[in-house]
Amino acid sequence: MLTKREFLRSATLTAAALATARFSPALAQSDSPAKKGGAVTPAEARAIAKEAYIWGYALVDDHRIQYPYFIDKSHPEYKGDWNTIGHNTRLYTPADTTIQTINTDTLYSFIGMDLRDEPLVITVPRVEKERYYGCSLFDL
């Protein structure tokens, strides 16, 4: 699992890479020395780092969840291979920390969908009128 320290290190490296490349909407709209090929000021570096963090946080956090769920077969939270539905037959407890706010009274099924080669069709069974279920899809 990605620790907070590793996450912050990756965010810092991303910000540094962006600063080195001199690519940033904040810089593109300014008359800064960096735009003219000069050095990046501390304020510009901070603006770049902030944009990198905001842009990259969801991607990094989603990878933090997907890695133990679908890649690391030795992890206790492993759900199954890509494009294969994995079902949990137990309820979650506060000790389960991969997802921060998962319900403790709900059974879950998970699927990591890799749509690079082809679409994936998911069918779900009918349920009784008084019951329901939800399907959430998250895109990287």
Residues 105-137 pLDDT 10s: 888 888 999 998 999 998 888 889 998 888 888
C-alpha distances (whole Å) from 17 to each of 12, 49, 104, 113 are 9, 10, 40, 30
Reported as a pLDDT band with limits 50, 70 and 90, residue 2 is low
Question: pTM here?
Answer: 0.58
Q: Per-residue pLDDT tens for 35-90?
A: 566 788 899 999 999 998 998 898 888 888 889 989 999 998 888 999 998 888 88
What is the structure's pLDDT at 74? 95
pLDDT of residue 37: 65
Query: CA geometry: angle at 29 spanning 25 and 30, to 5°?
Result: 120
- DSSP H helices, the chain, are 4-21, 25-28, 42-66
More confident residue, 98 or 54: 54
Pairing of strands 86-87, 109-110: antiparallel
The pLDDT > 90 percentage for the chain reads 16
Contact 45, 19 (CB under 8 A): yes
User: Residue ranges per domain, the chain?
Assistant: 4-80
Gap between the Cα atoms of 36 and 34, Å rounded: 5
Each residue's pLDDT tens digit, 22-44: 554 554 555 555 556 678 889 99
> CB-based contacts of 63: which residues, under 8 Å, 6+ apart?
2
Q: What is the pLDDT at residue 15?
A: 57
Tell me the C-alpha distance between 75 and 44, whole Å.
40
